[in-house]
């Protein structure tokens, strides 16, 4: 029997963000006859609970260490586990995990792949930007391959001279477009009615963490602006806490008198059922790697309004699958208003979005590209 390759996946956090979802889909779909998957991640719910579920299904081996801080001792512990398990490749997801993977490579000779899942250097101060750039350049000597989840992210990584172009692999996140299949117009209106929404109003939706990155209070400012010119809509916001709390969110909604148009629901609700309620998907992120939520919305046949930032510009074909706009309240509100008034445009963009997802963002394509990268690195000197 052919010996399997041992792959260790590291994610310093395990909340349900794009990086965690990408890692879960990789684990669920990678060839079990070729790879054994070992996972080391944070123990926050619900991401960690999902990893435990995958372990119970025999899809991975979960490494349980009560480690909350990156210290020389913790690095040594995880490096010894990697050595004991005869790990061939370590694949880190996100900045924190990238520190683990590259320093483990110092202690234990192993091939390392790192996925950024979002580069936002422009949000850093000049000092922090220079420190991060220097740090990542040093770590690049310990990194055999990089994965950028979108062409725009790769452009930043190479343009900022964080990485050598020869080490960069653009591998887009993949989703199961059959699972996120669209409803007909009549089915959607019936779903909205059953949920208690006014099916005669346009439902604008968003699925996001309450984080700085997602720019949520700016998004609510855009909703306030839209309300001034077009009141016949509902904004359905499925969210989870991160940098901000639900109480801060509710306080902002009350302060700006948006209670009549904003409905907040728990973001841990079954996501497909949430998308089924949306007529338009809205995201006002400050940066992205490649936003999973846009891919999911498009796979459900929902037109997208998104800020013109890294990742979004790859997930949305402007004026075809949605509208890309500058990060200005007036621009966002105008784009939403345009779609609210034009059912034919919404339907046409939704159809285009579904086709774009099925062509460019399949899970099979993502798995095939990762497998090719792993094989290339394992056969390289």
The alpha helices in 175-325, defined as continuous H runs, are 185-194, 216-229, 246-255, 271-275, 292-299, 312-315
Q: What is the pLDDT of residue 14?
A: 65
Percent of the chain scoring above 90 in pLDDT: 75
Banded model confidence at residue 19, pLDDT cuts 50, 70, 90: confident
Does 185-360 match 5-174+362-379 at the fold level?
A: yes
141 vs 164: CA distance, rounded Å: 10
Rg value, the chain, Cα: 21
- What average pLDDT score do residues 154-178 get? 94
Banded model confidence at residue 67, pLDDT cuts 50, 70, 90: low
Count of positions (residues) in the chain: 381
Phi then psi dihedrals of residue 258, to 5 deg:
-110, 10
Q: For the domain covering 185-360, report its CATH number.
A: 3.40.50.2000
Q: What is the pLDDT of residue 45?
A: 64
- What average pLDDT score do residues 336-362 get? 96
Q: What is the pLDDT of residue 381?
A: 63
pLDDT of 328 > 60? The answer is yes
Between the CA atoms of 334, 340, 342 and 348, what dihedral angle is there, to the nearest 10 degrees? 100
Q: Using an 8 Å Cβ cutoff, are 60 and 54 in contact?
A: yes
- What average pLDDT score do residues 80-100 get? 91
227 vs 234: CA distance, rounded Å: 10
Measuring CA to CA, how many Å separate 148 from each of 57, 71, 167, 171, 303? 29, 27, 10, 6, 25
Q: What is the pLDDT of residue 114?
A: 97
90 vs 261: CA distance, rounded Å: 47
* Candidate from 57-71, 163-177, 288-302 with smallest mean pLDDT: 57-71
Output the average pLDDT for the chain. Answer: 92
Measuring CA to CA, how many Å separate 333 from each of 21, 209, 291, 297, 359? 30, 21, 21, 19, 30
Phi then psi dihedrals of residue 297, to 5 deg:
-60, -45
The CB density around residue 98, as the number of other CB atoms within 10 Å, is 24
> Which tokens is 226 given?
């839209």
pLDDT of 66 > 70? The answer is no
Q: What is the pLDDT of residue 49?
A: 87
* Selection from 64, 30, 33 nearest residue 372 by Cα: 30
Beginning with the edge strand found earlier in the chain, give each strand of the sheet holding 262-266 in spatial order: 262-266, 233-241, 202-210, 280-283, 304-307, 322-325
> Which tokens is 290 given?
């490649």
Q: What is the pLDDT of residue 18?
A: 81
- What average pLDDT score do residues 176-191 get? 89
pLDDT of 249 > 60? The answer is yes
Q: What is the pLDDT of residue 1?
A: 52
pLDDT of 335 > 90? The answer is yes
Choices 3.40.250.10, 3.40.50.2000, 3.30.300.30, 3.40.640.10: CATH for 5-174+362-379: 3.40.50.2000
169 vs 369: CA distance, rounded Å: 9
Q: Using an 8 Å Cβ cutoff, are 289 and 119 in contact?
A: yes
* Candidate from 246-250, 268-272, 331-335 with smallest mean pLDDT: 268-272
pLDDT of 36 > 60? The answer is yes
* Candidate from 11-15, 113-117, 376-380 with smallest mean pLDDT: 11-15
The SS3 call for residue 324 is strand
Question: Hey, where are the domains in the chain?
Answer: 5-174+362-379, 185-360
């Amino acid at each position: 029997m052919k010996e399997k390759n041992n792959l260790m996946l590291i994610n310093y956090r395990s909340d349900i963000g794009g990086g965690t979802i990408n890692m879960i889909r990789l684990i669920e779909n990678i060839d079990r006859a070729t790879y054994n998957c070992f996972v080391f991640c944070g123990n926050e719910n619900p991401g960690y609970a999902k990893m435990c579920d995958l372990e119970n299904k025999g899809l991975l081996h979960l490494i349980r260490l009560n480690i909350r801080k990156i210290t020389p001792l913790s690095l040594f512990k995880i490096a010894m586990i990697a050595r004991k398990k005869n790990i061939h490749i370590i694949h880190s997801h996100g900045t924190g995990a990238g520190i683990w993977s590259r320093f483990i490579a110092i202690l234990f000779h192993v091939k390392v792949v790192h996925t950024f899942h979002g580069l936002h250097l422009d949000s850093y101060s000049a000092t922090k930007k220079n420190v991060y750039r220097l740090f990542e350049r040093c770590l690049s000597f310990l990194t055999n391959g990089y994965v950028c989840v979108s062409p725009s992210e790769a452009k930043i990584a190479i343009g900022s001279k964080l990485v050598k172009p020869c080490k960069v692999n653009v591998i887009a996140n993949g989703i199961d477009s059959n699972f996120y299949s669209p409803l007909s117009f009549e089915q959607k209106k019936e779903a909205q009615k059953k949920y208690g929404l006014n099916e005669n109003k346009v439902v604008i939706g968003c699925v996001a963490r309450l984080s700085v990155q997602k720019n949520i209070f700016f998004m609510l400012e855009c909703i306030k602006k839209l309300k001034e010119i077009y009141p016949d809509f509902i904004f359905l916001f499925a969210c989870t806490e991160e940098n901000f709390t639900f109480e801060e969110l509710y306080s902002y909604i009350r302060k700006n008198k948006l209670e009549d148009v904003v409905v907040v629901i728990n973001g841990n609700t079954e996501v497909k059922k949430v998308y089924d309620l949306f007529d338009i998907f809205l995201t006002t992120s400050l940066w992205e790697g490649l936003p999973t939520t846009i891919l999911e919305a498009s796979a459900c046949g929902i037109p997208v309004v998104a800020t013109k930032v890294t990742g979004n510009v790859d997930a949305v074909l402007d004026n075809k699958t949605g509208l890309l706009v500058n990060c200005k309240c007036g621009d966002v509100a105008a784009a939403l208003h345009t779609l609210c008034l034009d059912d034919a445009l919404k339907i046409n963009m939704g159809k285009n979005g579904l086709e774009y997802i099925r062509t460019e963002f399949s899970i099979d394509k993502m798995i095939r590209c990762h497998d090719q990268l792993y094989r290339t690195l394992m056969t390289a000197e």
